[in-house]
A = this chain, B = another copy of it.
């Protein structure tokens, strides 16, 4: 892992990094804040490590709870080249949208393909982050994501015991994802829009039901996916604070 840039603003240190060839961003409290819980954030398909909602969550997480927050570009996203196979899958989604056909099956297929490649990258990134002095390598880690970030995060959570709490947003559900959900056993918070024409409510409820966690909650709100209101962002971060603890030496709101 090496850091490629470093800036600081309003009490938040922002560093870009590379782990192997995967570019990421790390937001953390100013140095001297001692140990800080680690939260990983997964962007949605078509977005990247600096998606506006993701950055807003990261900054709130650092300033309110003293978290260190990491995001990386998924394969074919952000600063990374998109492969020919990925381009073809994205074009299939776009054609379905133009033709006003259901996009869900195309999105779910593409998402699974990207997520399968993203999971080992997240694992390597987490290995690297846990070598940093401000991260307690024995401490529980949180994962939050939307859409592609949900699929990736469920696969990571089901397979990596370091993830101790997961916050998921809307996602296109298919049978493969249902199978992954049945292997998720850590506390889960799942936030879904109630009125999004692209998303199947019944599938969202079935996915929530499939999650094997003893502690899980579903939050549905009227309206579409975007934008999430600020108070939802704050609620989600409180969920992580309950399960990960808070950074030492922070002032909490």
Contacts and interface: CB of A to CB of B under 8 A. Distances in A.
Interface stretch (A6-14, A51-59, A208-216): A208-216
A216 B222 contact: yes
Copies in the complex: 2
A226 interface: no
B221 A216 contact: yes
Given A218-B219, A222-B213, A238 B231 contact: yes
A221 B215 CA distance: 7
Contacts of A208: 194, 220
Interface string A204-238: 01001100011111111111000000010001001
A220 B205 CA distance: 10
Contact of A222 (B194, B205, B214, B219): B214
Nearest to A238: B231
Contacts of A219: 217-220
Nearest to A216: B222
A221 B231 CA distance: 19
Interface residues of A, number: 19
Contact of A221 (B218, B220, B223, B238): B218
A217 B220 contact: yes
Contact of A217 (B209, B214, B222, B238): B222
Interface of A: 194, 205, 208-209, 213-223, 231, 235, 238, 242
**Which 8 residue pairs of A and B lie closest in terms of their CB atoms, listed nearest first?**
A217-B221, A218-B220, A216-B222, A219-B219, A215-B222, A231-B242, A235-B235, A217-B219
Given A194-B208, A216-B222, 13 more contacts: A194-B209, A194-B218, A208-B220, A213-B222, A215-B223, A216-B221, A217-B220, A217-B221, A217-B222, A218-B219, A219-B220, A231-B238, A235-B235
16 contacts: A194-B209, A194-B216, A194-B218, A213-B222, A214-B222, A215-B221, A215-B222, A217-B220, A217-B222, A218-B218, A218-B219, A218-B220, A218-B221, A219-B219, A219-B220, A220-B220
